[in-house]
């Protein structure tokens, strides 16, 4: 939407600023958005509301503190910096959104851990963008021009609104909700549902922080692998190349929204089943979830790769001629669609340290490859590096799950 209303260079600057803010929000979350799914989901599975409240409150306090400090420090550095970057003022504006984006992600994870994925989906970071885009649409009717700065201000306002509503909703959930174990016979491969006698083990603050830090590294390295190209193409080329890369990258990631939905629904259940030592039901849920992801995402990604010229034309005629970027990126995402929920499985089974090592190696290789190919091949090189990262990371995690659990977390391989 913004790509059609803003000049190519302005959209490129805005895309780089929003990418930087998302990176800061990921750091500010400190991995709690995933560790909360694991420990909060296990507590809810065992009907332990006090333990659930405790892990949610810790996550909110830590994330709020970190995100506020990060926004202030980066803002001061930009203010005293001697460098005159064209998008500096734009970045200072969107920096305000960092604490609100980080807190909203924790709110979303809290709802997901409480087996309310539909409520959690409302407070995802993507919801902020959706609301901001809707507001941008009405700007011309109010007599205001759509500029990069006005879009940034609307984005910040949307993040504040989402955060406020989310915190109020989560407070009501913690106070009035009653945990319900919604695992049914359908989660058992033989249809024989049995309650486990294994009770929730209270997580220590040290373990909670350590696990969260591992997930922080995983999230940060995944972000680098996916988005380092946008910074390299702007550095080696210009804002126009950054706009083209950003448009293709965001489009290629859209089908994987289903993956995040499935992970949000099944992760708390997987954490509860793993802690309750119910491997058969755990494995059945993994394969069934991966089957859903594969059956829906593979056809969509194939259509996206083949029909890339049409998809890129949605951004405008300037983007259509670079349709090959979307084709390359979609091919890389196909591997992730086939491998299912491998990353979520490792995170919910206490294998976050191994996942961290895989993510670091994959991200370092992706950043190096992206830098080299961006310098030699331009924006197409960055797209190729991103595709190799997506495929390599997915395969590495899948085989790691096979080694740790004895089976592939895919719908077919056993």
Higher pLDDT, 238 or 178: 238
pLDDT-derived band at 372 (thresholds 50, 70, 90) equals very high
**Residue 232 sits in the same domain as residue 153:** no
Is pLDDT above 90 for 368? yes
Is pLDDT above 70 for 375? yes
**Residue 164 sits in the same domain as residue 289:** no
What mean pLDDT comes out for the span 67-93? 80
pLDDT-derived band at 188 (thresholds 50, 70, 90) equals very low
Span of 139-148, 157-166, 296-305, 377-386 with lowest mean pLDDT = 139-148
Span of 33-37, 118-122, 299-303, 352-356 with lowest mean pLDDT = 118-122
**Token representation of residue 140:** 């011309």
Which H/E stretch holds residue 347?
helix 342-348
With respect to residue 209, please indicate whether it lies within any of the assigned structural domains.
Answer: no
**Residue 353 sits in the same domain as residue 243:** yes
User: Mind listing the pLDDT tens digit for each residue in 241-276?
Assistant: 888 888 888 888 877 766 666 776 777 777 777 777
State the residue for tokens 């929003």.
18
**Residue 176 sits in the same domain as residue 255:** no
Higher pLDDT, 97 or 254: 97
DSSP 116-154: -HHHHHHTSHHHHHHHHHHHHHHTGGGT----HHHHHHH
Say how many domains are in the chain.
2
pLDDT-derived band at 84 (thresholds 50, 70, 90) equals low
Judge whether 149 and 92 are in contact, CB under 8 Å.
Answer: no
Judge whether 38 and 174 are in contact, CB under 8 Å.
Answer: no
Span of 229-233, 337-341, 395-399 with lowest mean pLDDT = 337-341
State the residue for tokens 């460098």.
83
Percent of the chain with pLDDT over 70: 90
Judge whether 54 and 285 are in contact, CB under 8 Å.
Answer: no
With respect to residue 351, please indicate whether it lies within any of the assigned structural domains.
Answer: yes
CA quadruple 234, 254, 388, 403: dihedral sign: positive
pLDDT-derived band at 44 (thresholds 50, 70, 90) equals confident
pLDDT-derived band at 64 (thresholds 50, 70, 90) equals very high
User: How far, in Å, CA of 59 to CA of 53, rounded?
Assistant: 10
**Token representation of residue 275:** 């802690």
User: How far, in Å, CA of 243 to CA of 79, rounded?
Assistant: 25
Is pLDDT above 90 for 65? yes
* pTM over 0.95, yes/no: no
What mean pLDDT comes out for the span 368-397? 91
Judge whether 342 and 394 are in contact, CB under 8 Å.
Answer: yes
Is pLDDT above 70 for 191? no
With respect to residue 187, please indicate whether it lies within any of the assigned structural domains.
Answer: no
Query: CA angle at residue 176 from 260 to 196, to 5 degrees?
Result: 65
**Residue 254 sits in the same domain as residue 388:** yes
Is pLDDT above 70 for 141? yes
With respect to residue 299, please indicate whether it lies within any of the assigned structural domains.
Answer: yes
User: How far, in Å, CA of 409 to CA of 291, rounded?
Assistant: 10
With respect to residue 191, please indicate whether it lies within any of the assigned structural domains.
Answer: no
Is pLDDT above 50 for 189? no
With respect to residue 195, please indicate whether it lies within any of the assigned structural domains.
Answer: no
**Residue 259 sits in the same domain as residue 337:** yes
Domain of residue 414: give its range: 216-414
pLDDT value of residue 267: 72
With respect to residue 200, please indicate whether it lies within any of the assigned structural domains.
Answer: no
**Residue 165 sits in the same domain as residue 238:** no
pLDDT value of residue 180: 57
**Residue 330 sits in the same domain as residue 263:** yes
Judge whether 25 and 125 are in contact, CB under 8 Å.
Answer: yes
pLDDT value of residue 190: 40
Judge whether 85 and 101 are in contact, CB under 8 Å.
Answer: no
**Residue 49 sits in the same domain as residue 145:** yes
**Residue 223 sits in the same domain as residue 331:** yes
User: Mind listing the pLDDT tens digit for each residue in 160-172?
Assistant: 988 898 889 888 8
What mean pLDDT comes out for the span 361-366? 91
**Residue 159 sits in the same domain as residue 241:** no
pLDDT-derived band at 62 (thresholds 50, 70, 90) equals very high
User: Mind listing the pLDDT tens digit for each residue in 271-292?
Assistant: 777 777 788 888 888 888 888 8
Is pLDDT above 50 for 194? no
- Of the candidates 181, 203, 233, which is a domain's last residue? 181
pLDDT value of residue 208: 81
What mean pLDDT comes out for the span 70-85? 78
Mean of pLDDT over the chain: 81
- Of the candidates 181, 201, 225, which is a domain's last residue? 181
**Residue 127 sits in the same domain as residue 252:** no
SS (H, E, C) 355-407: HHHHHHHHHHHHHHHHHHHHHHHCHHHHHHHHHHHHHHHHHHHHHHHHHHHCC
Higher pLDDT, 357 or 349: 357
CA atoms within 13 A on the CB side of 11: 19
CA 124, chain centre distance (Å) = 9
- Of the candidates 159, 181, 203, which is a domain's last residue? 181
With respect to residue 202, please indicate whether it lies within any of the assigned structural domains.
Answer: no
Is pLDDT above 50 for 103? yes
């Amino acid at each position: 939407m913004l790509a059609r209303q803003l000049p190519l260079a302005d959209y490129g600057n805005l895309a780089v600023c929003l990418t930087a803010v998302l990176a800061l929000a990921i750091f500010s979350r400190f991995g709690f958005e995933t560790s909360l799914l694991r420990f909060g989901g296990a507590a809810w599975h065992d009907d332990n509301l006090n333990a659930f409240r405790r892990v949610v409150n810790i996550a909110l306090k830590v994330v709020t503190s970190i995100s506020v400090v990060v926004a202030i420090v980066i803002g001061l550095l930009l203010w005293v910096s001697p460098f005159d970057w064209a998008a500096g003022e734009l970045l200072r504006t969107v920096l305000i959104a960092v604490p609100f984006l980080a807190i909203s992600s924790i709110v979303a994870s809290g709802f997901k851990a409480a087996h309310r994925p539909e409520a959690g989906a409302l407070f995802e970071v993507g919801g902020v963008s959706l609301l901001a885009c809707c507001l941008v649409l009405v700007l011309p009717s109010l007599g205001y021009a759509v500029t990069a700065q006005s879009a940034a201000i609307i984005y910040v306002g949307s993040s504040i609104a989402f955060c406020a509503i989310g915190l109020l909703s989560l407070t009501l959930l913690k106070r009035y909700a009653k945990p319900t174990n919604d695992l049914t016979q359908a989660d058992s491969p033989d249809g024989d549902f049995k309650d486990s006698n294994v009770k929730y083990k209270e997580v220590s603050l040290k373990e909670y922080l350590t696990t969260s830090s591992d997930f922080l590294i995983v999230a940060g390295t995944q972000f680098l692998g996916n988005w380092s190209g946008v910074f390299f193409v702007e550095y080696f080329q210009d804002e126009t190349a950054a706009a083209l890369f950003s448009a293709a990258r965001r489009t290629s990631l859209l089908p994987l929204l289903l993956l995040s939905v499935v992970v949000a629904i099944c992760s708390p259940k997987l954490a509860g089943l793993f802690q309750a030592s119910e491997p058969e039901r755990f494995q059945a849920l993994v394969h069934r979830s991966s089957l859903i992801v594969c059956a829906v995402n593979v056809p969509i990604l194939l259509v996206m790769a083949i029909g890339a010229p049409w998809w890129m034309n949605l951004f405008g005629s300037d983007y259509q001629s670079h349709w090959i970027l979307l084709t390359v990126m979609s091919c890389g995402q196909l591997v992730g669609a086939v491998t299912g929920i491998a990353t979520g499985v490792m995170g919910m089974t206490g294998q976050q340290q191994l996942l961290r090592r895989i993510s670091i190696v994959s991200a370092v290789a992706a950043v190096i490859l992206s830098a080299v190919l961006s310098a030699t091949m331009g924006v197409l090189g960055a797209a190729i590096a991103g595709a190799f990262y997506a495929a390599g990371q997915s395969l590495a995690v899948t085989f790691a799950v096979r080694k740790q659990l004895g089976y592939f977390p895919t719908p077919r391989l056993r």
